[in-house]
Amino acid sequence: MEVYKLYPQLNNSDRRQQNTTVYRDRRSGIDRRTQFTSDPDISDRRINPKLRKDIEEVKDVFKAFRPDKNPDSSFKQDAEIGAATSIPYVRRLKNANDAFEQHDYFKGLGIIFLQFINVKEDWRDITKIFKKPNTPYDYQIPFSFIRGTPLEKCEFLDKFDKTLAETKSGKKFLKTVGTKKFLPFDTKNYNKLGDSVYAFKSEGNLLSKIVCRTLLRIPVLSFAFVAILEIPTILKSKKHFDQAKKSIVNVTLTVLVGALIGAIGAYMGPLGSLVGLGIGSYLGNKIAKKINNL
């Protein structure tokens, strides 16, 4: 006789028929007795629609105050970085670090090379802030790729060390925007080859003066050197043509905007020149990235 069957309630092996609470179904890993689970994806699907709507509304209210989404915070960060890059050493080291982070080792080493040969000249530019200038603020000394560097004695490079304003196409362009003529000013300084260093200002309308000063701040060799540093990036890209366009936009805007804002700032003296160049280069690079991401 099967005695245990006389009292089935005492020997019920099916837990689904028991009165004890089942907190979790171990077969599926999901608590089917509640609408919330430890899985955020599943919980989101089971959450009450009205509650979900309320949560989203609260998120929208506080969204503008999140540090990573706050436009004012982003602007402040950009302003701080732009001001810091006004110091030539900081600007080049930042650019080199950015290149290494993107695995552009050739570009990074090239920027470090520029930093090395320009240590003395950069220091001279910084100390000008604290000295009485010997050149009027409305005159611009043409920038140079080799002046003040160990390469200055190289006569071969000296022949090509000109600014865009001193090239034939540059002169034609300046005439187009209204430049009438250049007025020289002897700075009483000499390069290592014994040649006098002159500053210039242009006669014409305001636009032509700013454009002229901008082009006087862009050495052809500097532009060419920076462009060469982009070659490995283009070659290692699967889409050479697309990357070439991005590199052209990046180099052109970084150099041009830096020269433009630096030229405007130079009317306020050496400090304005340095700060303008740093902020302009940083903004030019940011604008180039925005365009390339379109």
Can you give the residue ranges of every domain in the chain? 20-63, 72-292
Angstrom distances, CA of residue 237 to CA of 102, 105, 111, 294? 13, 15, 21, 18
How far apart are the C-alpha atoms of 112 and 96, rounded to whole Å? 7
The amino acid that residue 69 corresponds to is: K
Rounded to 5°, the CA angle 201-205-210 comes to 55
- Residue with the larger pLDDT of the pair 242 and 85: 242
Identify which of 216, 218, 282 has the alpha carbon closest to the alpha carbon of residue 254. 282
pLDDT-derived band of residue 26, with 50, 70 and 90 as boundaries? Answer: low
How many CA atoms are closer than 13 Å to the CA of 133, on its beta-carbon side? 18
Length in residues, the chain: 294
pTM exceeds cut of 0.75? no
Asked whether the predicted pLDDT for residue 20 surpasses 70, the reply is no
The mean pLDDT value for 191-205 works out to 83
The mean pLDDT value for 206-233 works out to 93
Q: What is the largest CA-CA distance in the chain?
A: 125
The amino acid that residue 232 corresponds to is: P
Residues in Cβ contact with 100 at an 8 Å cutoff, skipping those fewer than 6 apart:
108
Q: What share of the chain is helix, strand, coil (3-state, %, to 5)?
A: 60, 10, 30
The mean pLDDT value for 54-70 works out to 62
How far apart are the C-alpha atoms of 270 and 122, rounded to whole Å? 12
Asked whether the predicted pLDDT for residue 190 surpasses 90, the reply is no
Beta carbons of 217 and 252 less than 8 angstroms apart: no
Angstrom distances, CA of residue 192 to CA of 28, 130, 234? 82, 24, 37
How far apart are the C-alpha atoms of 57 and 63, rounded to whole Å? 10
Tokens of 286: 């940011």
pLDDT-derived band of residue 237, with 50, 70 and 90 as boundaries? Answer: confident
pLDDT-derived band of residue 168, with 50, 70 and 90 as boundaries? Answer: very high
Tokens of 64: 């503008």
Asked whether the predicted pLDDT for residue 32 surpasses 80, the reply is no
Q: Mean pLDDT for the chain?
A: 81
Asked whether the predicted pLDDT for residue 272 surpasses 80, the reply is yes
State how beta strands 181-190 and 196-203 pair: antiparallel
pLDDT-derived band of residue 36, with 50, 70 and 90 as boundaries? Answer: very low
pLDDT at 50: 74
Range of lowest pLDDT (1-5, 94-98, 100-104, 126-130): 1-5
